Chain A
Amino acid sequence: GAGVSQSPSNKVTEKGKDVELRCDPISGHTALYWYRQSLGQGLEFLIYFQGNSAPDKSGLPSDRFSAERTGGSVSTLTIQRTQQEDSAVYLCASSFQGGNEKLFFGSGTQLSVL
């Protein structure tokens, strides 16, 4: 597609439920990032995929969070046993190579945990 696509755009869930967020990066981009943005806050780094290398998972806040990237393209961020503090906008971004490259962001998924 023309840009980074994320789905769903909005997700409302109950505390304790699992959620899956999807990101479809720009075709040909080898680097894919997940960030989280809480209301009025900056972007919190979560995880970074670069090509076939092992992902940099150091930003994941707990073991309830996991992400995978299949075939070097689509990525899924999974949050298990959601908590209210998980409520935020989850942003996916991709870039051609990573490193110093410009990031292209998707429109985000607004997650609300009730």
Chain B
Amino acid sequence: QKEVEQNSGPLSVPEGAIASLNCTYSDRVSQSFFWYRQYSGKSPELIMSIYSNGDKEDGRFTAQLNKASQYVSLLIRDSQPSDSATYLCAVNGRGSTLGRLYFGRGTQLTVWP
């Protein structure tokens, strides 16, 4: 199984700060990258997808992708207590494994008021 690694947590930031979540992946041919948010006791929900090198911004969220370094990150600006959740990085396969999403273990984020 392809390896998706996330920076160990938990991560704790004050309200209003920038939270930085990192993810590396082992399969050099991976093409699609996703960030899912999972609240405690709930199912994951997609918050960002990115397919090309560079930055992609959506509101307070910015995904960054560097395929050469096999690295993808998620920045949350102006963090809010409601952002407290586990963030899962997911990487898509290619070819025969195109349909699969491989998930990291997640980074638990706590935003304190």
**Contact flag A107-B104 (CB < 8 Å), given A48-B99, A59-B1, A98-B98:** no
In the complex, what residues of A have CB within 8 A of residue B43's CB? 91, 105-108
Taken together as a complex, chains A and B put the C-alpha atoms of A106 and B42 apart, in Å, by 9
> What 1/0 flags go to B72-113 for Cβ under 8 Å of A?
000000000000000010101000111111111110000000
In the complex, what residues of A have CB within 8 A of residue B51's CB? 100
B106 touches which of A42, A45, A102 (Cβ 8 Å): A42
Other than the given A45-B102, A91-B43, A99-B92, 5 more pairs (CB < 8 A) read: A42-B104, A42-B106, A43-B44, A98-B98, A107-B42
In the complex, what residues of B have CB within 8 A of residue A50's CB? 99
Number of interface residues of A (CB under 8 A): 23
Contact A33 B101 (CB under 8 A): yes
> What 1/0 flags go to A57-99 for Cβ under 8 Å of B?
0010000000000000000000000000000000100000011
B100 touches which of A48, A102, A106 (Cβ 8 Å): A48
- Would you list 16 pairs from A and B whose C-beta atoms are within 8 A, ordered by A residue? A35-B103, A43-B44, A43-B90, A43-B103, A44-B103, A48-B100, A50-B99, A56-B97, A56-B100, A91-B43, A98-B98, A99-B92, A100-B31, A100-B49, A100-B92, A105-B45
Interface pairs A-B: 7 shortest CB-CB: A105-B43, A42-B105, A43-B103, A98-B99, A42-B103, A100-B32, A48-B99
Closest to B96 in A: A56
Contact B88 A42 (CB under 8 A): yes
Question: Does A41 have its Cβ within 8 Å of any Cβ on chain B?
Answer: yes
Contact B99 A41 (CB under 8 A): no
Taken together as a complex, chains A and B put the C-alpha atoms of A24 and B1 apart, in Å, by 27
Contact B98 A99 (CB under 8 A): yes
In the complex, what residues of B have CB within 8 A of residue A45's CB? 1, 100-103
